[in-house]
Amino acid sequence: MANYNLEKQHAKGKLHAIERINALCDKDSFYEIYEGARHTCTSFGMDKKDIPYDGVITGFGKINGKKVAIYAQDFTVQGGSLGKVHGQKIAELISKAIESRCPVIGINDSGGARIQEGVDALCGYGDLFYQNVRASGAVPQISIIAGPCAGGAVYSPGITDFIFAVDKISQMFITGPKVVKSVMFMDISAEDLGGASIHSQKSGVAHFRCQSENDCYEKVRKLLDYIPHYYGEEILSQKFKFDERKKEKHIAEILPERSTQGYDMKEVINCVTDDDSFFEIMPEFAQNAVVGFAKVEGKSVGIIGNNPAGLGGILDCDSSDKIARFVRYCDSYNIPLLTFVDVPGFIPGPQEEQKGIIRHGAKVIYAYAEATVPKVTIITRKAYGGAYIAMCSKHLGADFVYAWPKAEIAVMGAEGALGILYAKEMQDPSKAEFVAQKSQEYKETIMTPAVAAQRDYISAIINPEETRKRIVASLDFLCGKNQMNAPAKKHGNIPL
């Protein structure tokens, strides 16, 4: 049994690698493998150094009674740096996880490549990255950032499906503060450069920000209850609770009187999913969009929604990335998609155009069109222009599209449309009555969901109170959906 240096980590207010593994896994379920592995480097005095388990503990165990592969880098051993053997150990573990069909959880606490090993250390990273890509879409990969991770140490997590960061412990950056200062002559702290809040709120690299390590491990265990543990696994439905009377009453009252007034789409989501089941992903990033997992009659679904409470629910570069990435994850593991639409369009202006809103917005279209899982869409209010199409419309392959009676489906809103159609009249105060008449005509003949229904673009106009029942019936009907309609090709080319 290895002699772990627990005190060294405790002095930093952190758990040791083995304590982290035990906190995640069911009691007494973890078994270490490759414990005897050692480096073979002889440069710069390395021949005199014995690095236990080459700085990373690898093995397998169980979480919530189901098997997982897990590794944890030990920062007390050579700074958790990755050498060739270190990388090979993790790569072999991931390969075994693919063969054994179970999730991989990586607890990352590493200073990056082991400098003394030179190109051998880079080889270790290459082996690891290759297995990360092999595993993508085959088994879930979860990364926990449990210390300062720099250089190559952040690219493996960057490939994985979900990244958990911990306040005052997690740091991720390509180059650390010292290098930034020497190259860019800029003083910046590690926390400001790549702390948990930076990556959960601004960069969107981290999917979850946790208050403590134990909070993090609880969230990881919760996430594993929502997702298949390998491609093709059928998750059995669990017992569920749903307060039908209370939620039907609430959902009927959510939409504001004025169509320009905001509301929180999460209220709608909570009214149609099982009680307390919505588990939001990336809650602090691009808050004009909502993504996460929930249960409907005990079965997992992927939830996507525009959120009028943030920037009016408009689609920008960040929210487009957030939506597209989540849609593709759900499709990878056959998780049905439930989309809630209230979107005034793609964001205009030079700033977002220069960031590439065309390219980022195209990702949403591509992801939805590519997805072959059951797709159910609810239009609660606005669905304008290209954003209407992008948000899982029938035109992109939605199986069922339902619209609430107050839904507005058009190229643009009435005011914008009249500004183009009757620009001169809108500038003339004497034409106010005429403009008001045309505005009403536009709303009644163009924007109404009845027009989309007549053209078979939506499946039905439903009252908000009916939404849950429609969703349940639709997903039940679509269970077992088999759509394989792609032309012969190796793979498509998403506009990354």
Asked if residues 30 and 61 have their Cβ atoms less than 8 Å apart, the reply is yes
**Burial class of 231 by CB neighbour count within 10 A (0 to 12, 13 to 18, 19+):** middle
Residue 15's contacts (CB-CB under 8 Å, 6 or more residues apart) are: 9, 23, 146, 213
Continuous segment of H or E residues that includes residue 31: strand 31-33
Catalytic (active site) residue 176: no
Burial 132-146 (b: 16+ CB within 10 A, else e): beebeebbbbbbbbb
Active-site option among 152, 292, 385, 413:
152
Asked if residues 306 and 340 have their Cβ atoms less than 8 Å apart, the reply is yes
> Positive or negative, the Cα torsion across 262, 266, 267, 269?
positive
Catalytic (active site) residue 151: yes
Active-site option among 386, 397, 416, 450:
386
Instruction: Locate 425 and state its tokens.
Output: 């009249």
Active-site option among 72, 97, 387, 417:
387
Residue 140's contacts (CB-CB under 8 Å, 6 or more residues apart) are: 103, 104, 161, 162, 224, 227, 228, 229, 230, 333
Catalytic (active site) residue 124: no
Q: Kindly report the number of other CB atoms within 10 A of residue 239's CB atom.
A: 8
How many angstroms from the chain centroid is the CA of residue 193? Answer: 22
From CA 30, how far away is CA 449, in angstroms rounded? 56
Which letter does DSSP use for residue 434 in this model? H
Continuous segment of H or E residues that includes residue 23: helix 17-24
From CA 418, how far away is CA 429, in angstroms rounded? 15
From CA 214, how far away is CA 224, in angstroms rounded? 16
Active-site option among 59, 151, 176, 195:
151
From CA 37, how far away is CA 21, in angstroms rounded? 19
Nearest to 287 by CA among 267, 302, 265, 269: 265
Residue 98 identity: I
| Strand runs labelled E in 134-288 | 141-145, 148-150, 162-166, 171-173, 208-210, 279-281
Provide Rg for the chain, Cα atoms: 25
Catalytic (active site) residue 387: yes
Q: Cite the active site residues.
A: 151-152, 386-387
